[in-house]
A and B are shown apart, each in its own frame.
Chain A
Amino acid sequence: KNEVEQSPQNLTAQEGEFITINCSYSVGISALHWLQQHPGGGIVSLFMLSSGKKKHGRLIATINIQEKHSSLHITASHPRDSAVYICAVRGYGNKLVFGAGTILRVKS
């Protein structure tokens, strides 16, 4: 079993829909990262969180440490949100372990 599991693996949504991507992990962590990888391959860090909730524009990330679970929400989705979203957890040794990613496609 992978240390970091993401669901769904693939997601197709209609423009304007509310999107949720889930991440579950099995190890103790010091922080969790959400990354976005564009179709061209570039990787951008969206959030780093160790508790609670963070919001940036239309993106919201939450984490429940007790349940070892995090969610990434996108409100009012847009075709430009189409990308691969990757969850990564950082253990106490500062090493990042990555999920397999969720491929999101938002249709207009």
Chain B
Amino acid sequence: DAGVIQSPRHEVTEMGQEVTLRCKPISGHNSLFWYRQTMMRGLELLIYFNNNVPIDDSGMPEDRFSAKMPNASFSTLKIQPSEPRDSAVYFCASSSWSGNEQYFGPGTRLTVT
């Protein structure tokens, strides 16, 4: 299995632009998680899905962030408009169930200038 796939691996954008991060979970996994990692705050859960349904989005910072999972093999995290404080590494992870071991993607390093 290819593992969790994220794209792009690096993204540099200007403040105010829309950013879309993509994730393909491991085939057969039915839980998907989006995390953000910064030096100041460490790793934080943004949102997670079970069977494509958002279960807990309490970590989504504000309305500028949105996440979708249109099918079992694809999820997006969108930031519109982006701000410099959104600069971070965004990880996607999947598991066979939300209570099981999670497998992390390589992350997307986002820089907003």
Contacts and interface: CB of A to CB of B under 8 A. Distances in A.
A42 B107 contact: yes
Contact of A95 (B48, B93, B109): B48
Given A31-B99, A94-B99, A42 B104 contact: yes
Interface of B: 33, 42-45, 48, 55-56, 58-59, 89, 91, 93, 98-104, 106-107, 109
A2 to B, nearest CB: 9
Nearest to A98: B43
Q: Is the interface of B mostly helix, strand, loop or mixed?
A: strand
Contacts of B58: 95
A41 B106 contact: yes
A100 interface: yes
A40 B93 CA distance: 17
B106 A45 contact: no
Contacts of B45: 95-97
Interface of A: 30-31, 33, 35, 41-45, 48, 86, 88, 90, 93-101
B37 to A, nearest CB: 9
A86 B43 contact: yes
Q: Considering residues A33, A42, A99, which has the most beta carbons from chain B within 10 angstroms of its beta carbon? A: A42
